[in-house]
Amino acid sequence: MSLQTHLNQLTRKHEALEREIQEAIHRPSADDLHIAELKRRKLHLKDEINRLQGVDDTIH
């Protein structure tokens, strides 16, 4: 798998988590622990994307 393909997959996962977070926040029975876990996962993905983009920049 190419680096760009991997970055695209991570970006899609990041966007999906954002949608899931927004849906969870707007539910009447919002579970704060679940939302916090989703946000943690989203941040982890963002960090990975930024790290890989830094690697990609050094390659080009």
CA–CA separation, 51 and 58 (whole Å): 11
Measured CA to CA, the distance from residue 24 to residue 29 in angstroms comes to 8
Distance CA 31, CA 28 (A): 9
Under 8 Å between Cβ of 9 and 30: no
Note the pTM of the prediction, 2 decimals: 0.83
pLDDT in tens, the chain (60 residues): 799 999 999 999 999 999 999 999 999 898 999 999 999 999 999 999 999 998 766 665
The domain limits of the chain are 3-59
User: What ranges in 1-60 are assigned the alpha helix state H?
Assistant: 3-25, 32-59
Closest CA relative to residue 21, chosen from 7, 41, 44, 6: 41
